[in-house]
Amino acid sequence: MNTFKTGLLLTALTLLLVLGGRAFGPNGMAFGLVLAVFMNGTAYFFSDKIALAASGAQPVSREQAPRLYSVLERLCGKASLPMPKLYLIPQAAPNAFATGRNPQHASVAVTAGLLELMNDEELEGVIAHELSHVRNYDILTTSVAATLAGAITLIAEMGRWAMIFGGYGSSRDDDRGGGGLSALLMLIVAPIAALLIQLGISRQREYAADAAGVRMVGHQQGLISALQKLGAYNKKIPMDVSPATASLYIVAPLSSGQFLTSLFSTHPPLEERIAALRNMVVTR
């Protein structure tokens, strides 16, 4: 169901791109799409290095984190995944993320606080969630969504400048046909709609990773308990996280004084994620 919803949202983004192209002209759509593909393609191939560097993550050896390695190896064996690279983030707030364009180029990073505060069952739930992102190729999915949303935003930006200099909506024919009005509406509405759809895709991938992680482990108790702890401690201990990489974490890290509404969040509310996990039927 989550995969179906993600497909619908990607389709909506594509339709929005087509409508934007019709409003501002095919050349605008082509230019916006090409530029967005280039920008997000670069991010896609180097996202792991960017995210790890931005978080201050450092590679960790088996000797330095034997418990983490043991959990990771066991889950990779169950999921038939290659062993990802492991990193430790020197921050007290418990959190974790996975990155990499495919399972062969994956990395998993956890904070020092996560290792300190989670028991083995909770740690297993968190790592299974992150490995599910890797197995589901979520970096690819979110990169496609970012490309489409970026193209829509670029087209709207081009339309904004074109309107300032009289390039769109100025002809009498366009006024009679409503072309100027439709372009104006697309200029205002399309970027907001694209952002909301992109965030919706991100939230669906979190639900999917929760469910896949639970199936990987065989029960939901560990992940439920981990999410409860993550929510409680991340309210108490702010994280120093770049906004560009915040969406990667298993729970949205909040800086001191920061407030995010659910509408503009990359993650579903923790209460809803936990409720969905409680309602899962897991066959062993």
**Which one of 130, 157, 206, 271 is the catalytic residue?**
130
Residue 262: pLDDT band (50, 70, 90) is: low
Residue 170 has pLDDT above 50, yes or no: no
Backbone phi, psi, residue 63, to 5°? -65, -30
Query: What average pLDDT score do residues 93-106 get?
Result: 91
Average pLDDT along the chain: 79
Residue 109: pLDDT band (50, 70, 90) is: very high
Give the list of residues 6+ apart from residue 66 with CB closer than 8 angstroms, or none.
none
Q: Which of 26-35, 149-158, 177-186 has the weakest average pLDDT?
A: 177-186
Supply the pTM of this predicted model: 0.77
Query: What average pLDDT score do residues 206-228 get?
Result: 96
- The conformation of residue 88, written as its DSSP 8-state character, comes to E
Whole-number pLDDT of residue 129:
97
Nearest to 198 by CA among 155, 153, 156: 153
Whether 271 is catalytic is no
- Ordered DSSP codes for 194-222: HHHHHHHHHHHHHHHHHHHHHHHHT-SHH
Nearest to 52 by CA among 111, 128, 133, 129: 111
Whole-number pLDDT of residue 18:
60
Of all residues in the chain, the percent with pLDDT exceeding 90 is 41
The residue among 192 and 178 whose pLDDT is bigger is 192
Whole-number pLDDT of residue 128:
97
